Amino acid sequence: MQGPLAGIRVLELGGIGPGPFCGMMLADMGADVIRIDRPGSPPHPVLQRSRRSLTINLKSPQGVAATRRLAGTCDAVLEGFRPGVAERLGLGPEDLMADNPALVYGRMTGWGQDGPLAQMPGHDINYIAIAGALHAIGGPDDPVPPLNLIGDFGGGGMLLAYGLACALLHAKTSGTGQVVDAAMVDGTAALLAMTYGFLGTGNWRDERAVNRLDGGAPYYRVYRCADDKHIAVGCVEPQFFAAFLAILGLGDDPDFAAQNDEAAWPAMHRRLEQIFATKSRGEWAELFTGTDACTTPVLSLTEATQYPHNTARGTYRTADGMVQPMPAPRFGSTPAGEPRPAPRPGQDTRKVLADAGLPDHDIEELINTGIATEA
């Protein structure tokens, strides 16, 4: 494996969404991520890439014993169960850290390990709603779910990957592991740091579509073009706003003289809506390309993979018949390698158990009794 985490071994106890995303982030950076899958469960072709997979029954004493043996060879474990489930399985942090005191134990939940909602089910939309983010996103009438990017992935999986990296650094210097409690509510709150700072200094109103960065300002919003496609305008700084106005022929227009006069914003909105409706997205993109106006086309998922800047940097690649984002961020001295295909559940069962030091006869017994299975 290549990447800055080469030599780090991580055990991933199944899960969906943010947990596998965390595992993908670590595997992309070179960690040997071993995922325990359920037999026959279809792997996600992107989130579960670059792993090794084994299938083992975590409800059997023999399966738990083998998993603990495996965890003893790892630097970190990550799980996404509800609080208390791992403990009931005999795979909680106290269980595994008793065998491996330097182990970093990462826990991925929506609500966190404690608090009144800790045992309640939920999804990204619920976590970002409680954290305040959902209320701030959308038009003046209704909030709009921003896919599941904020809670599941930005405030969840990526937060846990960051937490594990921090704890692994501490374990390397101290020899002592610890539990990392990554809650999507907490992560979403952290992502709102700048917004809360603006709110606290009187530079943000607790409403939608009335602020500088939420579509309220005419210079930071999306406009519909003549072909019903869209253009994204983000000319926040005065010099970029001036470049934007110059391209539109509005440089001397008195209606646009005071960029941050909120009373003038509605009139600016209407005028710009009318102007952008006169040309197609492609025509506008051609006019703004190479300028300082901070104005770009709004691309679909498919279009983004073919955009010249993205192709020049290799931001996406096609593998296994589908487009995938490449590993990020990029490292100068320890670059990440090409991601490997997601394994079939149980594809590496025998090899992983052997690497953990289980004797051949114990591995055969686990497989013959169906406690562990091979793909």
**Residues taking part in catalysis:** 123, 152
Q: Is 327:317 a contact under the CB 8 Å cutoff?
A: no
Find the farthest-apart pair of alpha carbons in the chain and give their distance in angstroms, rounded.
Answer: 84
Q: Which of 199, 228, 204, 202 is nearest to 216 (CA)?
A: 204
Residues paired with residue 228 on neighbouring β-strands, in sequence order: none
Q: How far apart are CA 348 and CA 65, in angstroms?
A: 18
DSSP, residue by residue, 65-110: HHHHHHHTT-SEEEE-PPTTHHHHHT-SHHHHHHH-TT-EEEEEES
Residue 169: Cβ within 10 Å count:
11
Tell me whether strands 230-234 and 220-224 are parallel, antiparallel or unpaired.
antiparallel
Tell me whether strands 51-56 and 32-37 are parallel, antiparallel or unpaired.
parallel
Torsion sign across C-alpha atoms 275, 278, 282, 287? negative
Q: Is 50:340 a contact under the CB 8 Å cutoff?
A: yes
SS3 for 332? coil
Q: Which of 272, 222, 266, 212 is nearest to 247 (CA)?
A: 272
SS3 for 141? coil
Q: How far apart are CA 4 and CA 30, in angstroms?
A: 6
Residues paired with residue 108 on neighbouring β-strands, in sequence order: 182
Residue 293 tokens, joined: 């106006």
